Amino acid sequence: MIAIEPMGYCGEDQGANPERLDLLRDYIRSSLRVARVLLDEVLHVRFSHEDPEEYRAVATKAAGELAMLLRLAKRALPGEEDDLQIRNLARDLVVHARAPHVYRSLLMRPSRATMYALVHFCLTELGFPDPKMDRLARLALHSSVAWAKERVPYRMLDAAWTRHIALERQSSNTRLSRSRR
């Protein structure tokens, strides 16, 4: 029987050598190009009237994924050109992340606040604050209803991570254990 090693595996840990870091940065830059296409083509306002509910669902999901990508990219890409691209993407993401339905959801459904608050806090970190959204998101995250039991484990991790980012990086372990009660 022939043993097949995973692609790219050479038998020893290579660590963060310069070639691997360059490759990683290239992947992140490629993801940023895809993000631009997503914002310009898929989430363009011209599609928002065809099926508003579906558009809102796609925009909400995309906003969460893009905000986390931009947060990662900001930390991983050192260049000024990269920084400009990240800022431009964040600026264009704001309209989706802080749409009226997001404000309503934070107010009316604090148990789902982490989903919307994460995007807001990532954008704030990237230089696009919104004091009204910030206040509403923090109130929702501090609400007793915000600790409602999540249905799936990965949502519990998302919620703990969002609370960690938003609430002065307090111990997310304490919050996670409280959510299980």
d(CA 31, CA 104): 30
pLDDT tier at 12, thresholds 50, 70, 90: low
Summarize pLDDT for 98-124 with one digit per residue, the tens.
999 999 988 888 877 888 899 999 999
User: Looking at the domain assignment, is residue 139 inside a domain?
Assistant: yes
How is residue 27 written in tokens?
């992947």
Q: Do 91 and 132 share a structural domain?
A: no
Q: 70: closest CA among 31, 44, 105, 96?
A: 31
For residue 28, pLDDT beyond 70: yes
With respect to residue 93, please indicate whether it lies within any of the assigned structural domains. yes
Please determine, for residue 177, whether its predicted confidence score (pLDDT) is greater than 50. Answer: no
Q: Is residue 146 within 8 Å of 118, Cβ to Cβ?
A: no
Is residue 30 in some structural domain?
A: yes
Which whole number is the average pLDDT over 21-30?
Answer: 94
Given this model, what pLDDT does residue 83 score?
97
Number of C-beta neighbours around residue 122 at 10 A: 25
- 3-state SS, residue 98: coil
Half-sphere exposure of 50 (CA within 13 A, CB side): 9
Angle 93-98-100 from CA coordinates, rounded to 5°: 135
Check residue 35 and give its pLDDT: 96
User: In whole angstroms, what is the distance from residue 126 CA to residue 23 CA?
Assistant: 24
Q: Return the higher-pLDDT residue of 148 and 54.
A: 54
Q: Which residue has the tokens 């307090």?
A: 170
Q: Is the domain of 104 the same as that of 161?
A: yes
Tokens of 174: 């304490």
pLDDT, mean over the chain:
82
Distance of CA 32 to the CA centre of its chain: 13
Which of residues 97, 127, 153 is at a domain's end?
A: 97
Q: What is the pLDDT of residue 165?
A: 78
Q: How confident is the model at residue 31 (pLDDT cuts 50, 70, 90)?
A: very high
Tell me the C-alpha distance between 66 and 38, whole Å: 9
Last residue of a domain, one of 55, 78, 97: 97
Q: How confident is the model at residue 171 (pLDDT cuts 50, 70, 90)?
A: very low
- Residue 52: give the domain boundaries: 20-97
In a domain, 7, yes or no: no
Average pLDDT over residues 13-23: 80
Instruction: Tell me the pLDDT band of 172, cut-offs 50, 70 and 90.
Output: very low
In the block, residue with structure tokens 């608050």 = 117
Q: Is the pTM of this model over 0.85?
A: no
Q: Is the pLDDT of residue 170 over 80?
A: no
Angstrom distance (rounded) from CA 42 to CA 116: 20
**Are both 26 and 71 inside the same structural domain?**
yes
